[in-house]
Structure 1
Amino acid sequence: MSLRRAIHQHRGPVQALITEGRGILENYCGFIRGLREEEKSLDDQKQQTDIKIMEAYRQTCNQIHQQLTEERDRLLSEVETNHRQNKGAVQSQRDAVLNDVAEMSSACDGAEQGMGREDKEFLSRKAKLDEVVGKFRERIVPILIPTHPAIFEPTEKFTCSLGKVTVPGAASSGAAAMAMGHHHGNKSSTLAPKQRLTFGGEGSDDGQFDFPFGVTVSEKAEIFVADSGNGRIQVFTLHGTFVRKFPAVVPGEQEQCPMDVALDREGNLWVVIRTESEEFAAQYTTQGRLLKKILLKETKNLRQVAVDTKRNQILITQTSGDGDNLQSEVLVLRSDGTLVRTVGQQQGMEVWFITVDGEGHIHVSDREHHLVHTFSEDGQFLFQYGGLGSGEGQLKEPAGICTDRAGNIIVADRGNRRVEMFDKTGRFIKHITTDMSCLCAVAMTPLGQIVVTCAEDNTVTIVSI
């Protein structure tokens, strides 16, 4: 048989085998696609469950905080009432005794003055002294035992029943569920829709401010505030209680003005500082010990700082030029001060505040154009949103910006006196609050609250979402 004839005879069977093989490959590819879809479904389920768990955790923490706050206020009110009553009783006793003392003293003094006289006035004073002494002779001198308000113990105990957030795919026994609390008792456990706590006030004492600007919150729930006018960093709890302070001091510098603060991956604090002669970024421990200093060029606007914890890079805003030729950009630096890249230079924006989300995306507020710009972790422009206005999704002079664990973007809409939430694509989600008197920086707490600074009022406000 010739080679050509043999090839001709085998072409049909070979084609059939090819077709069969392609079919088998398609089945395998279909199976792989199914596995990918299953992986995506599992990832989506996990993300949704993470959100539910964090929301349940946040709600429970807020409820417990509300209950403890109410109990604290009630006990303090009881102590104040008892203190007032006890003090009033002591003051009444004191006044009564002072009247008796004055009467007896007057009678004795009068008798002493008349001792040397031989007239009827001496006899009248003796009679008066007999009357007064006789009046008090049978009286028991009161022994005053200090009475202090009792130390109150809570009269109500908070008990919790268990609610459950089910993890997809977990056994119905609840072994893979997270238990959250619910209060039972006379006290209402309903949290005010936008519960807020404001603290501060103008001054230089502990807990007071002079132009508080930048703010950040640690995983330990400590609030760090750049108290610019007082040249220091102040630290507070989530209840607004003053914890400590340290001066934003670098040896050899005078009249230092800290503008913004951010925490890095190691838990150290980065502060951008302006002096009369220079500007720089300084790294401190959270207790205030200076670690390093990075010199920066002079900038036209108040400088802001953020940290890409994924890469442990420091991002610092910078604006140069004059008038219509202002040029804004974001400097991306290594922790030793080496420049990695600049971001946004071609965007024609006026950078104000900056943040970096968990994926490394850079978000910048642009108050001149009333926009927020978003860049990739490599500095490529992705999208922008906002625009001048007061409608949903619009902005007016946006200031502070931060992100939550889900990647949502929170913006201090300064000109509209409100705080807005957008999703990671820039789509408007909701108004967090719409009645803030003024806003500067904004930061997210581990419990899902937001912390807002107000330089004009010299206050800091914590708002529940």
Structure 2
Amino acid sequence: MLDPYYLQELDDEEKAMHEFSKEWKLSGIQRIFYNNLVKVLGGFGSEAGKFIWPTSVTNTLDGDLAIKDTGNQQIQIFSPEGHHKQTFTYGSEATKCLGDVACTEDGLLLVSNGSKGIKVFSKEGEMIHLLKSSKADWKHSYGLAVLRSNSIAVTDWTDGGKVHIIGVDWRMNAVLKTNVVDGLQRPEYIAVTEDEDLLLTEGQLFGQRTGCCLKIIDKERAITKTIGPTYGNHFNFMNPSGVCVDANGNFFVADKGKNNITIFNPDSSLAALVVTHDLEGPCGLTVTKSGLLVVTDCYHHNVKIYRYKQGIAF
């Protein structure tokens, strides 16, 4: 829980975001914990188990954590308990710190790096294929998400910003078709809900505070809702980055400008802060199969794991 000094620094509405609401039980949470850190992975370095700029994280098919370190240009695999298991190199970054890691239903690891092409790796770290097509045009790839159909969603900074929904024949590693959602502003990370809605964050570039929101795109690929820059009467996003969804449909948004993590219930009618200090540039987010929140803390060169609800053990 927060200490009294910190609570004095919050205004009334921000304090209210730390109050337990009985409504949270509707989305599978009986009580929300704040700043409940249970494990820190890594630290600065280039050796196995260390990071320079950890920016993305996903769950593997086996329940491990696959962490993308753009500083070392590596994917590192950790057990759910936080033990380092494996490291492999994915190659150079086309654009510094642009890119993501995601896992398909078959356990393949997908890595984007700011270029027109997505690298496909086996779970052992062997590169299988470079997924691209002359018919597709994601020149500045950033966030990745895998849909239930095993299609993939890729955010792209080309022409201001767009999202590509890419159908793939995974037996032939071939792009079958691509649908595009245009009219976005520097979309970064992306997540998929149980209903296959897309949640994507729009950050800011060089201090230009346009975007700074989370957008929800439905199955018809229309933008149905925008959360931010302001939500509530006094709270706002400064530079939202990572986004993920838990098993109950609650979703989390990291803000690397305000260095915090906000949780929203599935219809976004409730919001609460779950991490508010000791972060410096939080980027990628995921929730483990056991229900713990994982945050890549880029400029602290580590990955932090938090408990945010009751009944979860590390």
Give the TM-score range, shorter chain: 0.7 to 0.9
**What is the TM-score of this pair, normalised by structure 1?**
0.53
Superposed CA deviations along residues 409-459 of structure 1, whole A, max 9, x for unmatched, are 110122222111112222233211111422111111111111111222211
1:260 lines up with 2:97 in the alignment: no
2:201 and 2:101 map into 1 onto residues whose CA distance is 17
SS in 1 for 2:142: coil
More helix by share: 1
Shift of 1:233: 0.7
> Aligned partners of 1:319, 1:358: CA distance in 2, in Å?
26
Contact 1:331 1:341 (C-alpha < 8 Å) held by counterparts:
yes
Task: Give 1:338 shift.
Answer: 3.2
Structure 1 counterpart of 2:142, which letter? R
Relative to structure 1, the CA distance from residue 355 to residue 50 in structure 2 (aligned partners, 3 Å threshold; closer, same or farther) is closer
Counterpart CA distance in 2 for 1:417 and 1:339 is: 38
| Aligned Cα root-mean-square deviation (Å) | 2.8
- The equivalent of 1:340 in structure 2 is 178
For residues 48 and 129 of structure 2, the distance between their equivalents in structure 1, rounded to whole angstroms, comes to 26
User: Which residue number corresponds to residue 455 of structure 1?
Assistant: 298
Pick the aligned partner of 2:186 from 335, 350, 363: 350
Measured after TM superposition, the shift of residue 373 of structure 1 is: 0.4
Counterpart AA for 1:313: S
Q: CA offsets per residue over residues 83-140 of structure 1, 9 Å max, x none?
A: xxxxxxxxxxxxxxxxxxxxxxxxxxxxxxxxxxxxxxxxxxxxxxxxxxxxxxxxxx
- Say whether the 8 Å CA contact 1:235–1:244 is kept in structure 2: yes
Contact kept, 8 Å, 2:240 with 2:256, in 1: the verdict is yes
Corresponding residue number in structure 1 for 2:151: 313
In structure 1, list runs of 5 or more residues that go unmatched: 1-47, 60-190, 322-326
Work out the number of aligned pairs and report it: 266
Q: Is the Cα–Cα contact under 8 Å of residues 59 and 286 in structure 2 kept in the other structure?
A: yes
Letter in 2 for 1:242: H
Name the counterpart of 1:227: 69
Structure 1 residue 407: Cα displacement: 1.1
* Cα distance change, pair 462–392 in 1 and its aligned pair in 2 (3 A): farther
- Per the alignment, residue 163 of structure 2 pairs with 330
Aligned counterpart in structure 2 of residue 285 of structure 1, from 91, 113, 122: 122
Larger radius of gyration between Structure 1 and Structure 2 = 1
Q: Distance in 2 between matches of 1:192 and 1:332?
A: 35
Following the alignment from structure 1 to structure 2, what is the Cα–Cα distance between the partners of residues 415 and 450? 19
Matches within 5 A, 1:30-429: 51=28, 194-249=36-91, 259-274=99-114, 278-295=115-132, 297-299=138-140, 303-308=142-147, 310-321=148-159, 327-335=160-168, 336-343=174-181, 345-346=182-183, 348-368=184-204, 369-388=211-230, 394-429=236-271
* Partner deviation per Cα, 1:197-232 (whole Å, 9 max, x = no partner): 112112110101121111102353311011112222
Query: Counterparts of 2:261 and 2:228 in 1: how far apart (Å)?
Result: 13
The offset of 1:390, in angstroms, is 9.1
Amino acid aligned to 2:67: V
CA 1:193–1:261 in 2, change beyond 3 Å: closer, same or farther? Answer: closer
TM-score by length of 2: 0.76
Secondary structure of 2:272 counterpart: strand
Give deviations 1:16-59, integer Å, cap 9, x for gaps: xxxxxxxxxxxxxxxxxxxxxxxxxxxxxxxx89948xx79xx9
Query: Between Structure 1 and Structure 2, which shows a larger proportion of strand residues?
Result: 2
Match of 1:433 in 2: 275
How much has 1:408 moved relative to structure 2?
1.1
Q: State the Cα deviation string for residues 152-176 of structure 1 (Å, max 9, x = none).
A: xxxxxxxxxxxxxxxxxxxxxxxxx
Change in CA separation of 1:400 and 1:392 when aligned onto 2, cut-off 3 Å: farther
- More contact order relative to length (CA 8 Å, sep ≥ 6): 2
The residue type equivalent to 1:286 in the other structure is K
Q: In structure 2, how many angstroms separate the alpha carbons of the residues matched to 1:209 and 1:51?
A: 34
Whether the 8 Å CA contact 2:167–2:176 is kept in 1: the answer is: yes
Distance 1:255 1:405, change over 3 A: closer
SS, match of residue 303 in structure 1: strand
